[in-house]
Chain A
Amino acid sequence: MIEIAYLTKTFRKFKALDNINLHFERGQTISLLGPNGSGKTTLIKSILGLVIPEKGTIRINGNEVKDNWEYRSQIGYMPQIGRYPENMTIRQVIKMLKEIRKDCNRYDEELIEGFNISAVHHKTMRSLSGGTRQKVSACLSFLFSPDILILDEPTAGLDPVSSELLKDKIIKERTNGKLILITSHVLSDLDDITTHIVYLQDGKLMCYKTVEELKKSTGQEKLNKIVAAIMQKNYREEYQLHENNY
């Protein structure tokens, strides 16, 4: 469904993405993991066409992303920090997006009901707390029932109840055959929902495996232990490389 080949992006001298090759299919939930500044958000933004890559191609359902815009109707995006026109109310934002997305006339309002957004409908975006803003972002990304969902730190700032609700929704959408990409630092949140793990470090792809494989190879059950094992392995390799150099 998403094919990424030789993707490279540099900001000035900083290599944010270095020759990334990935292939994602329907029905997968992919966790994009890696330390801060490892290129997760850049990868997501490249898929969305918000960041223009220097080299490499991204194809979605066979169509190249470059110079194309129609494909975005299949993607629901929940940004890390949802930024909205400050003077608009929640109701207006939702209405505006519905008007812009005339191609879609069936709305998935499950989350809007679940989060009880209608109770705060009249509030302006300026006056919202970080968590409520996050809820609005989540609702908007699911609203047009897209085939691909890209969620950048979805559970950060959400209360436990809402967080569970969102996780249930993610699992439900995956069983409906959708592709879901998640980045998060709260690994315990990803535990029950993820099927594949992509680990990035300094813009390089370190590992892309299913959770089952990783469980077997590391001998760990929990995701945070698995990730710790991957990180340690990388660290050890780097350390050895370092020693060999001297």
Chain B
Amino acid sequence: MKTIIKYVLLDLLKNKTILVYTFILAAITISVSGIGDNASKGLLSLLNITLLFVPIISILFSTIYFFNSVEFTELLLAQPIRRKTMLLAEYAGIAIALTIAYLVGVGVPICIFFYNLAAVILIISGLFLTLIFSALALLIFVLFKDKTKGIGAAIIIALFFILLFDGLLLSFIYSFSDYPIEKPLLGLISLNPVDLARILVLLQLDAAVMMGYSGALFKKFMGSATGSIYTVICMLCWTIIPLITAAGIFKKKDI
């Protein structure tokens, strides 16, 4: 497993996309951090950027990478290696590379500019988003045989969670506003990793006004500590469940 991770990382180091991604993240973080005098405002803009960029880049890049390394997979599967080991090692390689890119691009500048708990939480939620969306990419890779279809699915999934889900949530709230829907709403929010990441950071920022309906609910029902723990557990599930499902499907797949 270690050997495979090593070679995936070596291959990714040569990949320019990762470098460009790191560079863009760093440029945005530094420029946004330099603008405002209010630390919490700066963090909020960074949060929005993280929520927009990290999911879509992670899922697209990972999907394309998995489909492009089909040869690598084929070569290794004829060797005495368990299929699950092979798949998870490939995932680990790419997740590590993207994590490093995020840590260098966002983590380091953030720690320099605002060193507080909220900044650390922002980094953690960004890391979770990276892990979750590359796990979803792995699931896409296992489910689709065709690269074009896979990339299409990746774009749809990313857009669904970033844009569409909130719209659906709003329409849900609007149409059932006469009923006590707070609790079902909490459950629904757990279905979107991007929302979970947002809430995780906002719970630390005390910016209740900007949290919107879902954030206010979380704060009211759970308080900061329980809410944070709950979101972290949900995000862990969002990482692990796609991975387990992908490994299960891959076991029965014809190469």
Instruction: Give chain A's interface residues, CB within 8 Å of chain B.
Output: 11, 45, 48-52, 69-73, 75, 77, 79, 83-88, 92-93, 96-97, 99-101, 103
Contact = CB atoms under 8 A, between A and B. Distances in A.
Contacts of A73: 79-80
Contact of B75 (A45, A70, A85, A103): A85
Contacts of B255: 45, 50-51
B177 interface: no
Interface residues of B, number: 23
Given A84-B71, A84-B75, A96-B7, 9 more contacts: A50-B77, A52-B254, A71-B80, A83-B70, A85-B71, A87-B11, A99-B3, A100-B76, A100-B81
A93 to B, nearest CB: 8
A73 B255 CA distance: 19
A48 B80 contact: no
B125 to A, nearest CB: 33
A83 B75 contact: yes
A79 to B, nearest CB: 7
B75 A87 contact: no
A88 B4 CA distance: 13
Question: Which among B4, B11, B70, B75 has the highest number of chain A CB atoms within 10 Å?
Answer: B75
Contacts, number: 65
Given A52-B252, A79-B78, A101-B80, A85 B11 contact: yes
A72 B79 contact: yes
Question: Which among B70, B71, B76 has the highest number of chain A CB atoms within 10 Å?
Answer: B71
Interface in B207-255: 252-255
Nearest to A141: B78
A204 to B, nearest CB: 20
Contacts of B80: 69-73, 101, 103
B14 interface: yes
B82 interface: yes
B3 A86 contact: no
Nearest to B78: A77
B172 interface: no
